[in-house]
Amino acid sequence: MRHTRIAFFDVDGTLTTDTTLFRFLRHYLTAQGHAPHVYEQRRRRLKAMTAIGVPREETNRAYFENFRGASAATVSRLAREWFAAELRHGGFFNEHALAALRRHQSDGDVVVLVSGSFPACLEPIAAYLGTDETWCTPPEITRGRYTGRLIRPPMIGRAKAEAVRLVASAYRTAPGHCIAYGDHVSDVPMLSSTGSAAVVGGDEELRDLARARSWLLLPGAPAPLRSAAGAASPVRESAS
C-alpha cells in the first residue's frame, strides 16, 4: 500500500462552531418568507425527538422533511448565500480544528469531510477549505426537487466508519495510517476506525474515551452570539 495519509473531519461542532443543518434551515425559511417562529417550532420538534431518545439517524431523516418540494437549484443558491453571510459575520469555524486541517493540507495529506449534513450546505464549505472529498447525507431529488426522503441512510455513526474504509481503500491506504476528528459520541465508530484520532470540544464522555485511548484533545469553540434575525443560538444544536 502507498503511504498516503488521509485526515477525516466531521463538520458540525468539529470544524464549525455551530450546526450547519440548523443554521441553514433558519436562513432557508427566512428566505422563503416564513416568520421566525416557524423555524423555532421546527427546531423544537427535532430537539424533542432527541430528548426522548430518538436515534440521531432518525432525527436527521426528519430534518430533511423540511425541504419536501423545494427546488434543488434554489436550495443550493440559498446555501451559497448563507455560507457567504456566515463568513462575513465571522466565528463560523473552530480555529483549532481549522488549523489542524490546514496543517494536514500543508503536509500533503488528503482531507475528507464526513458529515451528517448535506451537499447543498457542504459544497461551499468544501470549496472554501479546498478539501479533497465530501461524504455526507444524500437527500433524494426528483425532477429537480427535494422529495423529503434520503437516498441512503444518514452519514452518522457506523456509516462514517464505512466511509473511512471505502475512502482508504480507494487511495490504497491502510485506515491505520489515517486520522479522524470528531466532537460527539456518534463519531466514535469513525474515530475508532483510524490509526489516530482527535476529539474536539467539551463532550466529557468522548473526552474520557479519548484519554483512555490516547487520542488527541483539541479545544472546542463557543457558538457565536449574534443579535440579528439570523442570530445563532448560544447553545449548539444538533441533527447530524
Q: What is the pLDDT of residues 65-123, one digit of tens each?
A: 999 999 999 999 999 999 999 999 999 999 999 999 999 999 999 999 999 999 999 99
Cα(114)–Cα(84) distance, rounded to whole angstroms? 21
What's residue 202's pLDDT? Answer: 84
- Amino acid residing at 183: D
Cα(30)–Cα(230) distance, rounded to whole angstroms? 8
Strands 133-135 and 110-114, by their bridges, are: parallel
Cα(113)–Cα(133) distance, rounded to whole angstroms? 6
Would the CA dihedral through 142, 132, 190, 101 be positive or negative?
negative
Cα(60)–Cα(54) distance, rounded to whole angstroms? 10
CATH number of 6-218: 3.40.50.1000
CB neighbour list of residue 24: distance below 8 Å, 6 or more residues apart: 78, 79, 82, 120, 121
What's residue 220's pLDDT? Answer: 79
Separation in Å, CA 48 to CA 45, 56, 77, 231, 233: 5, 12, 30, 21, 16
How do residues 14-37 score in pLDDT, each as one tens digit? 999 999 999 999 999 999 999 999
- Amino acid residing at 165: R
Q: What is the 8-class DSSP label of residue 68? A: T
The pLDDT-based confidence of 2 (bands split at 50, 70, 90) is low
Q: What is the 8-class DSSP label of residue 186? A: G
The residue ranges of DSSP E strands in the chain, in sequence order, are: 6-9, 110-114, 133-135, 139-142, 145-150, 179-182, 196-200, 216-218
Q: What is the pTM of this model?
A: 0.90
Separation in Å, CA 98 to CA 10, 139, 155, 166, 172: 12, 27, 21, 24, 26
Cα(185)–Cα(209) distance, rounded to whole angstroms? 9
